[in-house]
Structure formats: C-alpha cells, structure tokens
Amino acid sequence: MEKLVLILLATVIASCTSNTSIFGGRCSKQDPNVDACLLRSFNSLIEYMKGGAPELGIEESEPIVIDELSIALGGGPDGYRATFKDIHATGASNMTITNVRSDLETHQFQLTLFGPHISARARYRSSGVLLLVRASGGGDYWGEYEGVKAKVYFRGVPYERKGRTYLKLQQLKLDFNVKDIQMGVENLHNGNPVLQAALNLFINTNAQELLKEMKPELKRDLAEKMSRFLDRILEQIPYDDWIVD
Ligand SMILES: *[C@@H]1O[C@H](CO)[C@@H](O)[C@H](O)[C@H]1NC(C)=O
Ligand SMILES: *[C@@H]1O[C@H](CO)[C@@H](O)[C@H](O)[C@H]1NC(C)=O
C-alpha cells in the first residue's frame, strides 16, 4: 500500500515537471501558425526557468554577473579608458519573447525579446582625460536601462540519442538596443566632486555612445552565457518533446 502511494506520488511529481509542461505543450511542424505556438512554448519555458531549475542544472537567472568589460574613447596616451568589474545586472528574468520566426527544416530560430527595465551595478576604474578633466580613479557605477529590446538567433542540428531526437546548438548570435539609459558614477575613491560631476555629465550625455562602445564585448559575453544556458536545455529536453511532425 505504502509502495503504491509512493509510486503514485512519484508519477504525479514526474508528470508535473515533465518536459511538455515546461514547454506548455508541443508544437506541430504542420501547424501554419507554428511560430505563434513556439512563442507560447518559449515563454512558458522562460517562466519555468525564472527561479532556476535545479533538475535541469539551471541556476537562478538573477542577477546576471559579468566579470569585466572595458571601453576606450579616443586614442593617444590621454585617451579615456574605463574598466567595469563585477557587473551585476538584474531584471533580465522579466524579459518576455514578443516574436518568434522559425525555419524548422533548417532548425533556425529568431526570437525578439523585450524587457521593461534592467538595472546594473559595477565597480569601475578609469584613466585618461575626459572633458579636459583628468579622469583617473575609480568608484561605483550604476545604470538603469528602460525598454530593452533584444534579438536572438540560433541554429541547431538534430541528432539521435537513446531513440530520441535532440538538437545540438550550432550557432547563436544576439543583438540588443536600449530605449532610455540613465547612469552615473558615485563613491569616487579620491572623492573629487569636480571629477564626479564631469564624469556624470559626460556619461549621461553620451550614454548611447558608451553603450555602443561596450556592445561588442557585451554581446560576446551574453552570447556565451546564453549558449551555455541553451545547450543545457537542448541536451536535456528532446527536440521531439517540443516539436512534432
Ligand atoms: C525530459 O525528457 C528526457 C527524455 O525523455 C528525460 O530524460 C528528462 O528527464 C526529461 N526532463 C524532465 C525535466 O522531465
Ligand atoms: C520584475 O517585474 C516586477 C513587476 O514590474 C518587479 O516588481 C520586479 O522587481 C522585477 N524583477 C526584477 C528582478 O527586476
């Protein structure tokens, strides 16, 4: 009797966390609106992953931590350079997918994502001259990013494992833009209020420009993180569990 209850319980638990419920149902290749179905599936996957999914080896998605990023503006020995360390970004888990385009023959997917608000905190060090002010030093950086739109493209190849079809990630690219950026520096090490004011004026009037400078490194880092994440999911959830003929 006890055994039966245990088995029943195990079955209930197993079916609650089944791959299908993670994806909110399968999508059919024959469905002319398969992209709309994939949109729902991917969003339910994101919802499921929000607080982390230990059974899939997925850690909690907040915050995103980036070890280091640097920018250089202007050349020469006095060109402004800044390095940002221990970047902690929060709000990415609130992103939702707003559009999906797929080519299921070639296993290509393009997702459009939107996040209302992302916050970042970091430590920074800088050197060089900015607005005629010698900007050597360090302190804390904060950034508030409103209206983050991202596009993620990925392509996989199917393979067989234990009688199931899985997808192996072949390529992933991403790009993003931010509608409105507010950022600044504070707690400067040398406590120079003139420098702090100059830096804040500069970075706020050049926020989009600075983001553009950071983008190549940021894109590389985020693409790597996202590839690892997607790799793990694709390795554990058979492709034929989310797409059927
Ligand atoms: C997904 O399906 C695979 C293969 O059937 C299985 O090994 C894995 O445990 C399933 N994952 C979840 C979370 O149910
Ligand atoms: C996600 O959005 C909700 C509602 O706007 C907000 O309360 C929450 O703080 C956000 N989460 C993060 C990690 O930013």
- The full DSSP string for 157-213 is EEEEETTEEEEEEEEEEEEEEEEEEEEEEES-TT--HHHHHHHHHHHHHTHHHHHHH
Distance in angstroms (rounded) separating the CA atoms of residues 130 and 108? 44
Is the pLDDT confidence value at 13 over 80?
Answer: no
Helix 207-236 crosses helix 193-205 at what angle (to 10 degrees)? Answer: 70
- d(CA 72, CA 167) in angstroms, rounded, equals 39
- Each residue's pLDDT tens digit, 29-83: 999 999 999 999 999 988 888 878 888 888 888 899 999 999 888 778 788 888 9
pLDDT digits (tens, 9 = 90+) for 102-153: 999 999 999 999 999 999 999 999 888 876 777 788 999 999 999 999 999 9
49 in ligand 1 pocket by Cβ < 6 Å? Answer: no
Q: β-pairing, 243-244 with 27-28? A: parallel
- Which residues have C-beta atoms less than 6 Å from ligand 2? 62, 90-91, 93-94
Please indicate whether residue 162, judged by its CB atom, sits closer than 6 Å to ligand 1. no
